[in-house]
Structure 1
């Protein structure tokens, strides 16, 4: 390791200590933003001090999560975090190389896109009176993709074996992070043809292919379909109203939140809903689901627009509510819980019908 790299790592590590001293309890993600670096770069300063860099193959690493027993799986984007406790029960890998992806089904449910997996670490951290052990995955820009935390009943021996077997040869503190270019979709060239294809959808999963074929962003698609397949609802009221009503009526719902490398899904009922102010200035407003094996934390102050979206399928229309931030990035999607081949529940449609339209 060069003297320059060592010096930069030491300087960044000292700067992190300074931020922690000035703002006790600050999370690593927020500290990284203040220091103008990625979270992965900041975590890498702890290599040889409770942090170990891991390597792939990523599908094999994901499959080994099954050996850990009950864990907590965390997936987030800038405005929403989903946390589930349970085992990685059923893992299925499909495709190869950059097209490889996987489905995880069971108490923890995710859709994994390995093209977004670039850095991985095992981390042991002391927080208050606890020792937290985790596996943390990041994309090539250093943004967190997913984090897996051991729980009281996790298999620590399996964790240590995983860390030993997937330990990377390169344990340098310097990471070669690379920002992503902005995704620019200027389509569709033919809006009528796009909307006509939308009207002929047979499955909700076909929507992704529709966007790709017409080279149109998700948000632009919702704008084009406004009044026909989509309409806006009050963004500041909608998320809490959905969760409150689903909690009171015990209606099972689906919540999707993700990023480039991971999409985590909640399927089931929600019970304890809380709206809280957080952050050092109190400006952050968080909408929370605080259930025993499922937590959601959403930054309501970052929710800018909310859309009701209708997609035709062979079982009838499927209705979602989709939240976006000011930059038109997708934050979260809500659906009524349904299984393939089963029509959407009328109770979910009634709940969506009650949302305050703009």
Structure 2
């Protein structure tokens, strides 16, 4: 295992984003960040119930959540926090998060020199050393609050070397065809979208497995290349949407319109003030239009998965006045291209 000093020495031969450097070096991103402990980086307690309340006093920040195929970045303030041992959340209009503390394993407060300025961030990783969530201070952030956060959360153990576990294998599409009729019957009786995953677990399936064995009117397979067209149609129609991007430990949500779109190589990008989205279009292997009954009417989503069955992102309409976009969203989804038969 490489020590912190080994990683620091090897890092001098690389440049670029930390995630790419770590991959090139054969270490996890958390190990790369940990190697800076004592040189601008402080190991901190990773529990979001302790971290997030100390983020609000910082003021303006950028919240970043990603998976291997998509990155979401939102500017705002970490306000309206609701704690919990199993799940916690922020419900700020800008920074809207769902966090799962058991996956917040390693935490760091990082100060680094970037282009002649000091960049400050809080970075949290799971047991495999994969990034769960990152917070970057924006101009105007309260540096006294930053000092209080670092001091309050600093661990006694300031080691620059950590041991990480192997990432969990992809789950793929977990199906139980013998339970298909029960799935469809109970799907029709849903009153809230959050009930769906509990239904899948009860029937020993997962989200993608359920989609693959269900049929209309609940699901419709779409062409995997549909997402750039969908984003452009939403932009042109100027309707607000909800975009969910996450990993095992954190889900970040954008609610609002889409403005500037720009493709760069394999990346499809939304580049708006206070909101960026970066999507690897070449990673998208399956796209589904999914309808779930709720007490407010049907919840219609478009959901993308990679070739290993991992969820990349979900798009929904905004369901509440004054931004209710369910009707125009339904028209847009109805016009999307279906998956062509093999």
TM-score (norm 2): 0.93
Structure 2 residues without counterparts, runs of 5 or longer: none
- Contact 1:101–1:113 (8 Å) recurs in 2: yes
Root mean square deviation of aligned Cα: 2.0
Aligned to 1:158: 145
Aligned pair in 2 of structure 1 residues 10, 86: CA closer, same or farther (>3 Å)?
same
Cα displacement (A) at 1:56: 4.8
Matches within 5 A, 1:191-206: 191-206=180-195
Quote the offset at 1:161 in angstroms.
1.0
1:42 aligns with 2:29: no
Aligned to 1:268: 256
- The correspondence of residues 127-138 of structure 1 with structure 2, limited to 5 A, is 127-138=114-125
> Could you tell me how far apart the structure 2 residues matched to 1:139 and 1:188 are?
33
Q: Is the 8 A contact 1:109 1:266 kept in 2?
A: yes
Q: For residues 46 and 222 of structure 2, what CA distance do their matches in structure 1 show?
A: 43
Cα deviation for residue 77 of structure 1 reads 0.4
Q: 1:32 & 1:226 partners in 2: Cα distance?
A: 42
Residue in structure 2 matched with residue 12 of structure 1 by the alignment: 7
**1:80 paired residue among 29, 54, 70:** 70
Superimposed CA distance per residue, residues 217-241 of structure 1 (whole angstroms, 9 cap, x where no aligned partner): 21111101134411211222x2112
Q: How does 1:217-232 map to 2 (within 5 A)?
A: 217-232=206-221
1:172 and 2:159 aligned: yes
Per mean C-alpha deviation after superposition, the further-off stretch among 187-196 and 124-133 is 187-196
Q: 4+ residue runs of structure 1 moved beyond 4 angstroms?
A: 183-186
**Secondary structure in 2 aligned to 1:19?**
coil
Deviation at residue 8 of structure 1 after TM alignment: 2.7
**CA-to-partner distance for each residue in 1:12-41, whole Å, 9 max, x for gaps?**
222222233xxxxx2111111122211000
Task: Say which SS state the counterpart of residue 223 (structure 1) adopts.
Answer: helix
Corresponding residue number in structure 1 for 2:89? 102
The answer to whether structure 1 residue 247 and structure 2 residue 235 are counterparts is yes
| 1:160 shift after superposition | 1.1
2:240 and 2:325 in contact (8 A); partners too: no
Q: Quote the Cα distance in structure 2 between the aligned partners of 1:276 and 1:267.
A: 24
Number of residue pairs aligned between Structure 1 and Structure 2: 337
Distance of 1:30 and 1:183 partners within structure 2: 21
- Of 329, 332, 336, the match for 2:310: 329
Are the equivalent residues in 2 in contact too, given 1:315–1:343 (CA < 8 A)?
no
User: TM-score, normalising length from structure 1?
Assistant: 0.89
Structure 1 CA distance for aligned equivalents of residues 175 and 24 of structure 2: 33
Shift in CA distance, 130/355, structure 1 to aligned 2, threshold 3 Å: farther
Q: Distance in 2 between matches of 1:322 and 1:345?
A: 16
Q: Which residue number corresponds to residue 51 of structure 1?
A: 41
1:313 to 289, 294, 309: 294
Shift of 1:211: 1.6
Question: Which blocks of at least 5 consecutive residues in structure 1 are unaligned?
Answer: 21-25, 278-284
CA deviation after TM superposition for structure 1 residue 104, in Å: 3.3
SS at match of 2:268: strand
Report the counterpart of residue 298 of structure 1 in structure 2.
279
Helix, strand or coil for the counterpart of 2:290?
A: strand
1:186-205 per-position Cα deviation (integer Å, ceiling 9, x unaligned): 54652211121111111111
Q: Is the 8 A contact 2:305 2:311 kept in 1?
A: yes
- Deviation, 1:57, is 4.6
Matches within 5 A, 1:140-151: 140-151=127-138
Whole-Å separation in 1 of the counterparts to 2:170 and 2:46: 27
SS at match of 1:146: strand
Counterpart Cα distance in 2 of 1:189 and 1:36: 43
**Structure 1 CA distance, aligned partners of 2:259 and 2:247?**
26
